[in-house]
Amino acid sequence: MFSTAFLDLAPLEEAGGTVVLPGSKSISNRVLLLAALSGGTTVVHDLLDSDDTRVMLDALRALGCSVVHKGAAVEITGIGGVASRTRPAGSGIPPSPSGGGSGWGRSARLFLGNAGTAMRPLTAALALMGGEFEMSGVARMHERPIGDLVDALRQLGCRIDYLGNEGYPPLKIHPASALKLDAPIAVRGDVSSQFLTALLLALPLVARQDVVIEVVGELISKPYIEITLNMLHRFGIAVQRDGWQRFTIPAGSRYQSPGEIHVEADASSASYFVALGALAATASPLRIEGVGADSIQGDIRFVDAARQMGAAVSSGANWLEVRRGAWPLRAIDLDCNHIPDAAMTLAVMALFADGPTTLRNIASWRVKETDRLAAMATELRKLGAQVQEGADFLRVTPPADWKSASIHTYDDHRMAMCFALAAFNSAGARVRIEDPKCVGKTFPDYFETLFSVSRTSRPHIPVLCVDGPTASGKGTLASEVARRLGYRYLDSGALYRIAGLAATRAGLALDVGHEHTIARLAESLDIVFTEGRVLLHGQDVTEAIRTEEAGMNASRVSALPAVRSALVALQQGFRQLPGLVADGRDMGTVIFPDAPLKVYLTASAAQRAERRHKQLISKGISTTLPGLRADLEARDARDSNRAVAPLKPAVDALLLDNSGQSVEESVAQVLRWWEEKQNFS
Ligand code: DC
């Protein structure tokens, strides 16, 4: 996962290959709750591992549920039908958590992050179970409505208080005295379908008689209710449905674990890759595995919308294959009520259409992770689109003139995921995704997955070069800049050190006489940089290449032109998505002459000698400052004057004298220069 402050995307050109998508968030959290309410143990396969499911698992644990990770599966041991066993029939007294199963605690404070799929159903279940519970979340969760659900539960006799603003979490739940199940329970369906889902999931707890729910207002997001009904069915509860207005949970309904259950891949997550195929799968198709024509998720119907815009999609039971069809995409005018989440992806596809696209009936966007209507309009405009934002619709006219933009993501995973697709614009506009880790809500490895099926020509992949004299701190600066950008890091000096080590181990003298033998050896080196370790032919050489002797040997082999040429392709191979920071003396001059940012780092000889002195002393090596300084000055002179790869700044390098700077100050300067190059509007 990218946990950087932002992620700068290279202009991307083409897509193809196969992605295996993570499990559905909607199914995962419903399954977890149902497993927790059932008797016995449920083995859940392909569960989504993300912020929202972690929040649910933590809550279930806090309530006393047993949660065991067994390999890739999660085993949930539920409360064992406590509700129907311990409550005197017809008493109207809520269940107590004694008896079979793991038993739920009578009190808990639950923090539910920004997971609506945990907050709403748990509120309903706990209000019916009885006990003292406090439910809170992040600030945005406290702005997301829950009043309609609380109203519905209060009709039943549940006791729920608002701890902050009326109608919003945080909530305090108290034990109900008696439940009134005779009259139908009315719940609004036009703000969030999660209120109805919450009631449907929780009411079987008390279904000693038929329990009827009546929806007030037009029910939105019906496909999510279908997922709820489908999952309830898998757990032994057959809800009767009359249209979308009336739902009956039959008397005697009891949660029954299916024993094992597989979570299908997330259809909303699939939308980004369906869109990607439509935008950029020009040479070979993009195959999506884990979700397909047999999906029970409503968002699978995004595929129809994508087809309307021009995507060429074929499908099997649990796979999709997408290619670019019409190009540019066709503008559409669509009621998106049935695909509220995936419709955000259409808004970004609209940037590539042949006219204005209108997405209608999406008022629910306003109460999601952020006000998605406002957020979408603001960010699309940054890229140069003309956007009309209505109360419940969005009209997007593609940019006449694309602009580079830093996309604010509002702690909303879908904003980050769909806007990444804008990097496929062919106008060369740059796209920065702020706070990329927000994708962790549903798809922690989203960007890695995106890069694995995206291609662009090498010159498009950004490289930042940091060259400079010995002991200038270029390694420290370059690796820190790489970390902050989420880019790869090439320590080219390490390659020469490895070549020197390999040659010495092969018994070769490091001189011109063996130049070509060493070069051939250098070409065939099998090097892996992993988690701070360096492996040569599978053997850890991290320490071996850091000795003074290894430095001397590196210096010798680096003066052999054939060895330098032998390492060119290897070094250039590090230029991969999302980008590279490369450090070493000829990075900006020979290896990556087209790099968009080159920094030549210097510091006074006195400063560098002092730094090296500290470094050596800390390693327990005794030296003197004047001696070190003399060595450095001699090495500078030798390095600058040598015929092969002399130390000199690239003509277009920016000079950074870090003599008086902290590492943080130098890093900040380089990042400022980098941002200036992006030219964000
Ligand atoms: O940066 P370092 O100390 O790890 O470098 C080891 C040697 O390799 C040093 O003598 C400089 C040389 N070198 C080079 O010639 N070209 C590079 N791109 C990187 C290092």
Side chain identity, residue 617 = I
Kindly tell me if the per-residue pLDDT of 90 is higher than 50.
no
The confidence band for 80, taking pLDDT boundaries of 50, 70 and 90, is low
- The answer to whether 563 and 499 have CB atoms below 8 angstroms apart is yes
Considering the domain architecture, whether residues 570 and 638 belong to the same structural domain is answered as no
Confidence (pLDDT) at 89: 37
The confidence band for 548, taking pLDDT boundaries of 50, 70 and 90, is confident
Q: Which of 529, 549, 585, 639 to mutate to test the pocket of ligand 1 (most atoms within 8 A of CB)?
A: 585
Mean pLDDT of 583-600: 95
Mean pLDDT of 211-215: 96
Confidence (pLDDT) at 619: 83
Tell me, using a 6 A CB cutoff, whether residue 497 lines ligand 1.
yes
Kindly tell me if the per-residue pLDDT of 681 is higher than 90.
no
Q: Does the active-site annotation cover 411?
A: no
Considering the domain architecture, whether residues 279 and 244 belong to the same structural domain is answered as no
- Per the listing, tokens 């559409």 go with 332
**Cα(190)–Cα(276) distance, integer angstroms:** 32
Mean pLDDT of 540-545: 95
Chain centroid to CA 262:
22
Lowest mean pLDDT among 137-146, 345-354, 607-616: 607-616
Distance 604 CA to ligand 1 centre (A): 19
Tell me, using a 6 A CB cutoff, whether residue 555 lines ligand 1.
yes
Assess if residue 399 is contained within a domain. Answer: yes
State yes or no: cis peptide before 340, omega within 30 of 0: no
**Cα(344)–Cα(445) distance, integer angstroms:** 19
Average of per-residue pLDDT values in the chain:
93
**Cα(419)–Cα(415) distance, integer angstroms:** 6
Assess if residue 466 is contained within a domain. Answer: yes
Distance 627 CA to ligand 1 centre (A): 21
Considering the domain architecture, whether residues 492 and 478 belong to the same structural domain is answered as no
**Given CA atoms 652, 658, 661, 665 in this order, what sign does their dihedral have?**
positive
Tell me, using a 6 A CB cutoff, whether residue 492 lines ligand 1.
yes
Mean pLDDT of 329-358: 97
Tell me, using a 6 A CB cutoff, whether residue 468 lines ligand 1.
no
User: Per mean pLDDT, which of 88-102, 379-393, 603-617, 642-656 is the most reliable?
Assistant: 379-393
Assess if residue 408 is contained within a domain. Answer: yes
Residue ID of nearest Cα to ligand 1 atom 5: 493
Considering the domain architecture, whether residues 536 and 631 belong to the same structural domain is answered as no
Confidence (pLDDT) at 97: 40
Mean pLDDT of 260-275: 96
Considering the domain architecture, whether residues 268 and 209 belong to the same structural domain is answered as no
Domain boundary among 206, 235, 262: 262
Considering the domain architecture, whether residues 469 and 597 belong to the same structural domain is answered as yes
Kindly tell me if the per-residue pLDDT of 488 is higher than 50.
yes
Tell me, using a 6 A CB cutoff, whether residue 645 lines ligand 1.
yes
Considering the domain architecture, whether residues 522 and 613 belong to the same structural domain is answered as no
Considering the domain architecture, whether residues 35 and 59 belong to the same structural domain is answered as yes
Distance 671 CA to ligand 1 centre (A): 24
Q: What is the CATH number of the domain that holds 322?
A: 3.65.10.10
Assess if residue 1 is contained within a domain. Answer: no
Tell me, using a 6 A CB cutoff, whether residue 553 lines ligand 1.
no
Considering the domain architecture, whether residues 104 and 166 belong to the same structural domain is answered as yes
The count of other CB atoms within 10 Å of the CB of residue 530 is 8
- Render the burial of 557-579: b for 16+ CB within 10 Å, e for the rest: bbbbebbbebbeebbeebbebbb
Mean pLDDT of 203-220: 94
Distance 551 CA to ligand 1 centre (A): 8
Query: Which residues form the domain of 651?
Result: 460-487+580-681
Kindly tell me if the per-residue pLDDT of 338 is higher than 50.
yes
Confidence (pLDDT) at 532: 85
Domain boundary among 238, 262, 286: 262
Tell me, using a 6 A CB cutoff, whether residue 364 lines ligand 1.
no
* pLDDT above 70 as % of the chain: 96
Tell me, using a 6 A CB cutoff, whether residue 42 lines ligand 1.
no
Distance 496 CA to ligand 1 centre (A): 6
Based on the number of CB atoms within 10 Å of its own CB, is 85 exposed (0-12), middle (13-18) or buried (19 or more)? middle
Residue ID of nearest Cα to ligand 1 atom 20: 493
Residue ID of nearest Cα to ligand 1 atom 6: 493
Residue ID of nearest Cα to ligand 1 atom 2: 493
**Tokens representing residue 430 in the block:** 């740059």
Distance 568 CA to ligand 1 centre (A): 14
Considering the domain architecture, whether residues 316 and 396 belong to the same structural domain is answered as yes
Q: Which of 496, 568, 608, 635 to mutate to test the pocket of ligand 1 (most atoms within 8 A of CB)?
A: 496
Kindly tell me if the per-residue pLDDT of 93 is higher than 70.
no
Higher pLDDT, 648 or 579: 579
Confidence (pLDDT) at 7: 98
Considering the domain architecture, whether residues 441 and 503 belong to the same structural domain is answered as no
Mean pLDDT of 634-660: 88
Kindly tell me if the per-residue pLDDT of 425 is higher than 90.
yes
Confidence (pLDDT) at 101: 41
Tell me, using a 6 A CB cutoff, whether residue 493 lines ligand 1.
yes
Residue ID of nearest Cα to ligand 1 atom 11: 555
Assess if residue 525 is contained within a domain. Answer: yes
Confidence (pLDDT) at 103: 59
Q: What is the CATH number of the domain that holds 653?
A: 3.40.50.300
Angstrom distances, CA of residue 323 to CA of 36, 274, 306, 329, 358: 41, 8, 11, 12, 23
Tell me, using a 6 A CB cutoff, whether residue 99 lines ligand 1.
no
Q: Which of 362, 358, 383 is CA-nearest to residue 374? A: 362
Mean pLDDT of 32-48: 95
> Which one is catalytic: 51, 299, 341, 467?
341
- The answer to whether 267 and 295 have CB atoms below 8 angstroms apart is yes
Number of domains in the chain: 4
Considering the domain architecture, whether residues 366 and 386 belong to the same structural domain is answered as yes
Assess if residue 536 is contained within a domain. Answer: yes
Assess if residue 309 is contained within a domain. Answer: yes
Tell me, using a 6 A CB cutoff, whether residue 396 lines ligand 1.
no
Confidence (pLDDT) at 95: 45
Distance 639 CA to ligand 1 centre (A): 10
Q: Which of 541, 555, 580, 598 to mutate to test the pocket of ligand 1 (most atoms within 8 A of CB)?
A: 555
Encode pLDDT of 234-267 as tens digits.
999 999 999 999 999 999 999 999 999 999 999 9
- Per the listing, tokens 């009134």 go with 180
Tell me, using a 6 A CB cutoff, whether residue 469 lines ligand 1.
no
Distance 577 CA to ligand 1 centre (A): 25
Mean pLDDT of 420-430: 97
- The answer to whether 422 and 431 have CB atoms below 8 angstroms apart is yes
The count of other CB atoms within 10 Å of the CB of residue 662 is 9
Kindly tell me if the per-residue pLDDT of 648 is higher than 90.
no
Assess if residue 206 is contained within a domain. Answer: yes
Domain boundary among 577, 598, 615: 577
**Tokens representing residue 101 in the block:** 């199963």
Distance 495 CA to ligand 1 centre (A): 8
- Determine the Cα angle at 114 with ends 147 and 161, to 5°: 30
Tell me, using a 6 A CB cutoff, whether residue 586 lines ligand 1.
yes
The count of other CB atoms within 10 Å of the CB of residue 344 is 28
